[in-house]
């Protein structure tokens, strides 16, 4: 049987998972791929990984370029992460005529247009299933499985760390900071959790999902990004009382004005499937004009789940080695010359419902002032909870859900309400999505 | 741009949906497929469809062989359904060197081995995404998205009619017969609903899922099949009280002894994602050794959802037209020479938990007799509800959940309990699945 030779860059969690999966399932995989797939060389800066490679019969080096320049290798797996030197290595490998498999969402979201351009010129594939939602084959589902559809919207829980934190905050009525520490102890959050809790990781993934859904270039800089650091367990409880769960979503919608690209905490009605995706699990809902709403659920991170996607990509590339590049499934779902330049919407143009929580002086006329401001801005109230002030406090809590209104109108309304003498401090604002499905 | 010419057999719900989707999304689809896809000819026995075709610029005939023998056509879409003449037409089309796209689960489940064999000889593709779970790209997910995994089990709600009926029975505390009538009025159930309510349709789909999951030949005759006709709203309520929903599942598991293939009503713990899939929606959970549990959710039937899968298959075939057939993704996920002959298990060898409901004389010693029989057969009780008899009845209801035990042991236990003088009539038995995820 033909042997496909693979070079691996990065022997961390996912890299060692890929070696394990390819070794353990060698028979099953060759029955599917029609070829034997072998990792023959691997590189990592940490030379203590040499032993692991020796044990597995893999040539080890601490110089990634040695692997990238090895003429015997057909496919390079890039699992280093980050922008540099991952980008330089991938471009060099493409220049050398090698196919690329990567789990690097940051690299694809920011430099994908350049990388796919280079790959197209050389007639090689760049596969990146593992870059979004770990083991869930969401790229394949959108790019190939739903290819008959005009995709209308995509909404996903695409950061396991954030979802774990929100789930724990709800289940244990805990505060954000405490749960973050717990997540770090459990290994679900990095020592520097910024990318996860500030929504940057989710924004990378949303950038990729939007591109393959609508056939638009990757445009990470257009994503409105808000993290989960300001969500309190109090808001989670109020949302619960109103019939909602708070989830950190990546959302992209096709509208007449352009494409919405946004990552933020979101109230979702509890009966929604997405609202019930808990812990570190990921799920992506995709709505197409023909198929309606579909959902894809599974582990969004971890060694073997992510390796599952990496190895599936290797098998896809291995199967296609005999194929002329023109006939392949295009990397970004649509053929490069057919990319659409429809604009990404500014967040102020986006319309959602809103959950608002504010502290107001407990005296007559306050609610009338608030209602007037909202009405002036075209904001309708859908539900309202008013809590008497505790005995040691003169401020009452007002919680409301509004109907859909533009972010611009809501910004103006919030500004006006916050400027009232009767309102204490800042208003908490969380967007509400109903997902028409 | 290159034009791919498609011939359509059958202009019913799905056929007209496919025409609509291809017409409406022509631009989006050619951006993805790199080719223009045109249905140029269509056949239906009902000549009243000629007008629809004329309007769409499609050549109409009432003789399907005219389309199958048309030398200009590259791909044949078979949407006639049933075994004959679908089988003869598909084999003739393959003989003529045409690629096949079909939504016909019965045809694939029963005659797939023969059809794929013929297609392999001629070097053409047979695509059948629409045959399982309508618009959900589950074939692609298992065959390509999870190709790195040793699939451990598959469990799915793969018949929308059955799921609609069970959902309505629960929500409205209605009886099976009433809800069936409602489903027929709404068009969710056929005039002859046998295939849906007796589980045959689900068994067709499970046959296909199992083959592509494990690389085993299609073996419909080995599927243990039980329908939903004997489920009462009383059992649904008792299950609810115990923390479960009753769903009609297709389940296949890889065990050391062989492959389980079974379709039957099943108690699922309510916290399971699958337990919360309601109405006509479908969902399939797939567990792989690397990825863990993943789930795929969406519309399992209907004109455009099913057409979504049909058209995605056409796009896949169109993209691959330049490709040598050896390099293609194999129809049944594994290359034909690598099919495994691992046996399908007899239902008596299968182990599950059980929900049992029986009527017993309300007198001392009865429970002791039942407990002794269960214990003799190695059956452990997990939970028990005992209801006093109503005043007009001398029989008490006993409901129990058991731990996992083989169907053989349970059959013996039920037979022994039913033969007790103190037990009235037959015992109701519904299997319980926990789905290790």
Top residue of A145, A303, A337, A341 to mutate, by most chain B CBs within 10 Å, is A145
Q: Check B326 against A276: CB less than 8 A apart.
A: no
Find residues 289-308 of chain A whose CB sits inside 8 Å of chain B.
289-299, 304-305, 307-308
Considering chain B, what is the average pLDDT of its residues?
93
Chain A residues in contact with B149 by the CB 8 A cut-off are: 21, 25, 28, 308
Largest distance between two CA atoms of chain B: 83
**In angstroms, rounded to a whole number, what is the distance separating the alpha carbons of residues B1 and B56?**
20
Q: How confident is the model at residue A330 (pLDDT cuts 50, 70, 90)?
A: confident
CA distance A251 to A262: 5
**B window 132-151, beta carbon within 8 A of A:** 135-137, 140-141, 144-150
Give the long-range contacts of residues B174-179, CB within 8 A, separation 24 or more. B174/B233, B175/B232, B175/B233, B176/B228, B176/B229, B176/B231, B176/B232, B176/B233
Q: What is the pLDDT of residue B426?
A: 95
Q: What is the DSSP letter of B272?
A: S
Q: Hey, of A150, A291, A307, A318, which one would you mutate to test binding to chain B, going by the most B CBs within 10 A of its CB?
A: A291
Q: Look at B32 and A311 and tell me if their CB atoms are within 8 Å.
A: no
Q: Give the whole-angstrom CA distance, residue A333 versus residue A139.
A: 9
For residue A231, the cross-strand partners are: none
**Pairwise CA distance, residues B369 & B367, whole Å:** 5
Cβ of A407 under 8 Å from any chain B Cβ? no
**Candidates B147, B294, B298; nearest CB to A291:** B298
Question: What is the dihedral angle through the alpha carbons of A225, A229, A233, A234, rounded to the nearest 10 degrees?
Answer: -70
Q: What is the DSSP letter of A393?
A: -
Q: Which residue's structure tokens are 């499937």?
A: A273
Cβ atoms A45, A12 nearer than 8 A? no
Q: Has residue A437 got a pLDDT over 60?
A: no
Give the model's confidence band at A326: pLDDT under 50 very low, under 70 low, under 90 confident, else very high: low
| Confidence class for position B327, pLDDT limits 50, 70, 90 | low
For residue range A123-173, what is the model confidence (pLDDT) as tens digits? 899 999 999 999 999 999 999 999 999 999 999 999 999 999 999 999 999
Mean pLDDT for the stretch of residues A303-316: 96
Q: Does B34 touch chain A (CB under 8 A)?
A: yes
- Residues of A assigned a catalytic role: 205
Give residue-wise pLDDT tens across range B386-406: 888 877 788 999 999 999 999
Helical spans, DSSP H, in B230-336? 233-242, 303-319
**What pLDDT does residue B402 have?**
94
Contact B21 A148 (CB under 8 A): yes
Whether residue B146 and residue A308 make contact (CB cut-off 8 A), yes or no, is yes
Rounded Cα distance, B79 and B86, in Å: 8
Mark which residues 272-291 of A lie under 8 Å from B by CB.
273, 276-277, 288-291
Q: Test B147 with A33 for CB contact under 8 angstroms.
A: yes
Give chain A positions within 8 Å (CB) of B338: 30-31
pLDDT tens across A386-411, in order? 888 877 788 999 999 999 999 999 99
Cα angle value A410/A413/A414 (rounded, 5°): 85
3-class SS shares of chain A: helix, strand, coil, % to 5? 40, 25, 35
- Using a pLDDT cut of 90, give the percent of chain B over it: 83
More confident residue, A342 or B59: B59
Residues B403-433: tens digit of each pLDDT: 999 999 999 999 999 999 999 999 999 999 8
Please report, rounded to a whole number, the percentage of residues in chain A having pLDDT higher than 90: 83
> Is A62 in contact with A44 (CB distance < 8 Å)?
yes
- What is the enclosing helix (H) or strand (E) of A25? none
Within 8 A by CB and 6+ apart from A375, the residues are none
**Which one of B150, B291, B296 has the shortest CB-CB distance to A135?**
B291
Please say if the pLDDT value at position B271 is more than 80: yes
Task: Kindly determine whether residue A140 and residue B141, on different chains, have CB atoms separated by under 8 Å.
Answer: yes
- Secondary structure element (H or E) that encloses residue A178, with its range: helix A176-185
Phi, psi of A121 (to 5 degrees): -60, -40
The dihedrals phi and psi of B234, each to the nearest 5 degrees, come to -65, -45
Element of type H or E holding A264: strand A259-269
The catalytic residue among B105, B140, B170, B205 is: B205
Predicted local confidence at residue B389, as pLDDT:
80
Candidate from B290, B323, B324 with C-beta closest to A308: B290
pLDDT at residue B325 in the model:
59
Per cent of chain A over pLDDT 70 is: 98
Main-chain phi, psi angles of B238, to 5 degrees? -60, -45
What is the value of pTM for the model shown?
0.91
Asked if B315 contacts A145 with a C-beta cutoff of 8 angstroms, the reply is no
Q: Which of A54-58, A288-292, B331-335 has the lowest mean pLDDT?
A: B331-335
A321: closest chain B residue by CA? B327
Tokens of B197: 């309510």
Give the three-class secondary structure for B147: coil
CB contact under 8 A, B140 and A141: yes
pLDDT the model gives residue B57: 95
Structure tokens, B213: 């999951």
Supply the angle between the helices B105-122 and B200-214 in degrees, to the nearest 10. Answer: 40
Phi, psi for B152 (deg, rounded to 5): -95, -45
Distance (Å, whole) CA A365 – CA A378:
20
Q: In sequence order, what are the residues at sequence separation of 6 or more whose Cβ sits closer than 8 angstroms to the Cβ of residue B116? A: B126, B331, B332, B336
Chain Cα centroid distance, residue A332: 16
Asked if residue B330 has pLDDT above 90, the reply is: no
Residues whose CB is less than 8 angstroms from the CB of residue B237 and which lie 6 or more positions away in sequence, other chains included: B173
Sign of CA dihedral A266, A267, A269, A271: positive
Inspect the interface and report whether the beta carbons of B147 and A21 lie closer than 8 Å.
no
Q: Are strands A99-102 and A75-78 parallel, antiparallel or unpaired?
A: parallel
Strands of the sheet with B3-9, listed across from one edge: B59-61, B36-43, B3-9, B75-78, B99-102, B126-127
Which of A32, A145, A298 is the closest to B293 by Cβ?
Answer: A298
Residue A258 confidence (pLDDT) above 80: yes
Beta bridge partners of B386: B398
Closest to A298 (Cα-Cα) out of A317, A277, A314: A277
pLDDT digits 0-9 by tens, A344-401: 889 999 999 999 999 999 888 899 999 999 999 999 999 999 888 877 788 999 999 9
Tell me if the bond preceding B85 is cis, omega within 30° of 0: yes
Over 80: is that where the pLDDT of B203 sits? yes
> What is residue B100's predicted lDDT score, i.e. its pLDDT?
97
Mean pLDDT, rounded, for A104-117: 95
Query: What three-state secondary structure class fits B373?
Result: helix
CA distance A238 to A245: 10
Of A417, A402, A435, which Cα lies nearest the Cα of A358? A417
pLDDT, mean over chain A: 93
Task: Indicate yes or no: CB of A305 within 8 angstroms of CB of B328.
Answer: no
pLDDT tens-digit series, residues B226-238 = 999 999 999 999 9
Chain B, nearest residue to A306 by Cα? B291
Is residue B289 predicted with pLDDT exceeding 80? yes
CA angle A241, A246, A250 (to 5 degrees): 155
Q: How far apart are CA B210 and CA A314, in angstroms?
A: 23
* Per-window interface: B 324-343 vs A, CB < 8 A: 324, 326-330, 333-335, 338, 340
pLDDT band at B326 (very low <50, low <70, confident <90, very high): low
- Cα separation, A87 vs A106, in Å, equals 10
Judged by CB atoms closer than 8 Å, whether chains meet at A289 and B316 is answered as no
DSSP A192: S
| More confident call, A386 vs B248 | B248
Q: A-chain residues within 8 Å CB-CB of B127?
A: none
CA distance B365 to A309: 58
The mean pLDDT of A219-235, rounded to a whole number, is 94
Three-state SS at A377 = coil
Output A120 or A204, whichever has higher pLDDT. Answer: A204
Chain A hits for B305, CB-CB cut-off 8 Å, are 290-292
Q: For residue B389, give the 3-state DSSP assignment.
A: coil
Q: Using an 8 Å CB-CB cutoff, list chain A residues near B135.
A: 288, 290-292, 294
Minimal CA separation from A232 to chain B, in Å: 25
Structural domains of chain B, with CATH: 3-135+303-338 (3.40.50.720), 138-299 (3.30.360.10), 351-432 (3.30.70.260)
Q: How far is CA A231 from each of CA A159, A365, B315, B402, rounded to the nearest angstrom?
A: 16, 29, 44, 43
Q: What does the pLDDT read at residue B433?
A: 87
Give the pLDDT band (50/70/90) at residue B191. Answer: confident
Closest by CA to A218, choosing from A179, A261, A188, is A261
**How many residues are given for chain B?**
437
Q: How far apart are the first and last CA of chain A?
A: 47
Task: Name the residue of chain A whose CA is nearest to B147's CA.
Answer: A312
- Residues B134, B282: Cα–Cα separation, whole Å: 8
């Amino acid at each position: 049987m033909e042997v496909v030779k693979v070079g691996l860059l990065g022997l961390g969690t996912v890299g060692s998972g890929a070696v394990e999966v390819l070794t353990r399932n060698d028979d099953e995989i060759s029955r599917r791929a029609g070829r034997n797939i072998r990792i023959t060389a691997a590189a990592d800066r940490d030379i203590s990984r040499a032993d692991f490679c020796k044990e597995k019969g893999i040539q080890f080096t601490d110089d990634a370029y040695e692997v990238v320049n090895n003429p015997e290798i057909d496919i390079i797996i890039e699992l280093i992460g980050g922008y540099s030197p991952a980008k330089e290595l991938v471009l060099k490998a493409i220049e050398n005529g090698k196919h690329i498999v990567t789990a690097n969402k940051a690299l694809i979201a920011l430099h994908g247009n350049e990388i796919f351009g280079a790959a197209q010129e050389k007639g090689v594939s760049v596969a990146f299933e593992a870059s979004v939602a770990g083991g869930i084959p969401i790229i394949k589902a959108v790019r190939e499985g739903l290819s008959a559809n005009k995709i209308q919207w995509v909404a996903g829980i695409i950061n396991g760390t954030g979802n774990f934190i929100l789930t724990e905050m709800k289940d244990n009525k805990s505060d954000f900071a405490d749960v973050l520490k717990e997540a770090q102890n459990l290994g679900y959050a990095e020592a520097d959790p910024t990318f996860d809790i500030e929504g940057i990781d989710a924004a990378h993934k949303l950038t990729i999902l939007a591109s393959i859904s609508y056939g638009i270039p990757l445009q990470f800089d257009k994503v409105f990004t808000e993290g989960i650091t300001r969500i309190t367990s109090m808001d989670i409880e109020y949302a619960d009382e109103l019939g909602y769960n708070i989830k950190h979503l990546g959302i992209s919608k096709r509208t007449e004005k352009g494409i919405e690209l946004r990552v933020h905490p979101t109230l979702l009605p509890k009966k929604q499937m997405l609202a019930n995706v808990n812990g570190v699990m990921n799920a992506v809902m995709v709505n197409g004009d023909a198929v309606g709403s579909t959902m894809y659920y599974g582990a969004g991170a971890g060694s073997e789940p992510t390796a599952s996607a990496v190895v599936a990509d290797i098998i896809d590339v291995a199967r296609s080695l005999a194929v002329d590049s023109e006939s392949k499934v295009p990397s970004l779902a649509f053929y490069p010359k057919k990319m659409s330049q429809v604009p990404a919407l500014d967040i102020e143009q986006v319309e959602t419902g809103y959950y608002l929580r504010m502290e107001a002086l407990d005296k007559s006329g306050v609610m009338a002032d608030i209602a007037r401001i909202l009405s002036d801005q075209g904001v309708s109230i859908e539900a309202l909870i008013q809590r008497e002030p505790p005995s040691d406090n003169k401020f009452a809590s007002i919680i409301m859900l509004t109907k859909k209104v533009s972010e611009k109108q809501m910004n103006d309304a919030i500004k006006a309400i916050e400027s009232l003498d009767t309102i204490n401090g800042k208003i908490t604002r969380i967007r509400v999505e109903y997902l028409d499905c």
